[in-house]
Chains A and B, each alone.
Chain A
């Protein structure tokens, strides 16, 4: 990847009635976070290409009938943006509830309990219960890798593992198979993870995963500590490579 030339062109826009300035090319999410204004995200991870999959970061743009994802929408001159209207809060809560209803996130018996982004967001966004009927569908747990485990019950399809493996590690072990509610993360061409020849056993996917889907073996309930702080550093190093 070639080094991106630094843009110096400045645009001004409004976030929740606050005048802010941004560098052209920055996303609404980047600008908001620079300003200390919170927008919830799950599929976004600093250092990886924004994906716009989870829809938690949707914002309102004055003059646009559609909601737009803050992680992929670029700041432009004169934009008037609302980050946290009642409508947005309602949708965010609903998205989180649907994620819980879709698979089997039994927090009480999860290695990521207490350190889970989905769980945290549920609490912050006022999810006290799930209004949609739980599916209770059967999902497999892939324990074939000697170091790591993939629990499809807890996967939320954020694709952070897919992107970190492709973009940072360069191994591209992970992909998605199936469509819609049938979508699942697969290693290589749908092999048990332990048989993957492309996996370098680096563990980046474990630490990029926001929930308890990709975890280290040998962890018990509440024990899986994830750290993804190395990613922006690695990305910067790659971009600045001569």
Chain B
């Protein structure tokens, strides 16, 4: 039997959730023996495979690139897990949502800039009007809230997933944990 194919993805977040994933320490050795990590910031492949079993996603959906990636992942993955408050609630990336995008750019790149006062206008993804949680765009199968979720919450969720169950992580984590 082939090993389950796992991917991780980093959208609009600070990578703290991936750091918390790495905080599982010695379990990572066991994890690496049980699964194939086929795509994500910790491995090299550039192309997302067509038949991934589980993808664990960090970060909110903030740009057209995030949305495109999320929709592509959804179409090629059996189980999608929202990891961390940005993916689950919008969290800090969502704090810009009361501003319109041009106002946001003015604030970030002009008002608060010391030099080179202008917003980048090429080579970067286009902002969506609001940064939103993953499940407002695609079907999500499990949620692990927390900022970042503690390593033991991720450990629990991954162990449940490997046992073929959908994890309910409320015992281990909450919003803001």
Q: Which A residues are within 8 Å of any B CB, using their own CB? A: 100, 104-110, 113-114, 116, 119-120, 122-123, 126-131, 133-134, 136-138
Does B145 contact A130, Cβ atoms closer than 8 Å?
no
* B130 cross-chain contacts in A, Cβ below 8 A: 136
Chain B, residues 81-106, CB within 8 Å of chain A (1/0): the string is: 01001001111101101100000000
Does B143 contact A129, Cβ atoms closer than 8 Å?
yes
* A137 cross-chain contacts in B, Cβ below 8 A: 98
Q: Which of B135, B142, B147 contacts A107 (CB 8 A)?
A: B147
Question: In the bound complex, how far is the Cα of B144 from the Cα of A102, in angstroms?
Answer: 21
Question: In the bound complex, how far is the Cα of B176 from the Cα of A119, in angstroms?
Answer: 8
Q: If A119-B176, A122-B175, A136-B90 touch, does A128 touch B95 (CB 8 Å cutoff)?
A: no
Interface pairs (21), CB distance under 8 Å: A100-B175, A104-B98, A106-B89, A106-B94, A107-B89, A108-B91, A109-B92, A110-B176, A116-B176, A119-B176, A123-B170, A128-B144, A128-B145, A128-B168, A128-B169, A129-B133, A129-B135, A134-B90, A134-B132, A134-B133, A136-B98
* B94 cross-chain contacts in A, Cβ below 8 A: 104, 106, 134, 136
Closest A residue by C-beta to B84: A108
Question: In the bound complex, how far is the Cα of B98 from the Cα of A100, in angstroms?
Answer: 16
Residue among B82, B133, B175 facing the most chain A CB atoms (10 A cut-off): B175
Q: If A107-B147, A138-B98 touch, does A129 touch B176 (CB 8 Å cutoff)?
A: no
* A104 cross-chain contacts in B, Cβ below 8 A: 94-95, 98
Question: In the bound complex, how far is the Cα of B176 from the Cα of A120, in angstroms?
Answer: 11
Chain B, residues 112-153, CB within 8 Å of chain A (1/0): the string is: 000000000000000000101101100010111101000000
* B176 cross-chain contacts in A, Cβ below 8 A: 107-108, 110, 113-114, 116, 119
- The answer to whether B174 has its CB under 8 Å from any CB of chain A is yes
Closest B residue by C-beta to A139: B98
Q: If A119-B176, A128-B170, A134-B89 touch, does A108 touch B147 (CB 8 Å cutoff)?
A: yes
Q: Which of A110, A119, A136 contacts B174 (CB 8 A)?
A: A119
* B90 cross-chain contacts in A, Cβ below 8 A: 134, 136
* A107 cross-chain contacts in B, Cβ below 8 A: 85, 89, 147, 174-176
Closest A residue by C-beta to B131: A136
Does B98 contact A133, Cβ atoms closer than 8 Å?
no
Does A126 contact B133, Cβ atoms closer than 8 Å?
no
8 new A-B contacts at CB < 8 Å, known A122-B175, A128-B145: A106-B92, A128-B169, A129-B88, A129-B140, A129-B145, A130-B133, A133-B132, A134-B90
Does B170 contact A126, Cβ atoms closer than 8 Å?
yes
Does B98 contact A119, Cβ atoms closer than 8 Å?
no
Question: A221 to nearest B CB, angstroms?
Answer: 9
3 smallest beta-carbon distances between A and B, as pairs: A107-B176, A108-B147, A136-B97
Question: In the bound complex, how far is the Cα of B143 from the Cα of A182, in angstroms?
Answer: 31
* A134 cross-chain contacts in B, Cβ below 8 A: 89-90, 94, 97, 132-133, 136
* B145 cross-chain contacts in A, Cβ below 8 A: 128-129
Does A100 contact B89, Cβ atoms closer than 8 Å?
yes
Question: In the bound complex, how far is the Cα of B176 from the Cα of A104, in angstroms?
Answer: 13
* B97 cross-chain contacts in A, Cβ below 8 A: 134, 136
Question: A177 to nearest B CB, angstroms?
Answer: 20
Does A106 contact B91, Cβ atoms closer than 8 Å?
yes
Question: In the bound complex, how far is the Cα of B82 from the Cα of A129, in angstroms?
Answer: 9
Q: If A107-B85, A107-B147 touch, does A123 touch B95 (CB 8 Å cutoff)?
A: no
* B174 cross-chain contacts in A, Cβ below 8 A: 107, 119-120, 122-123
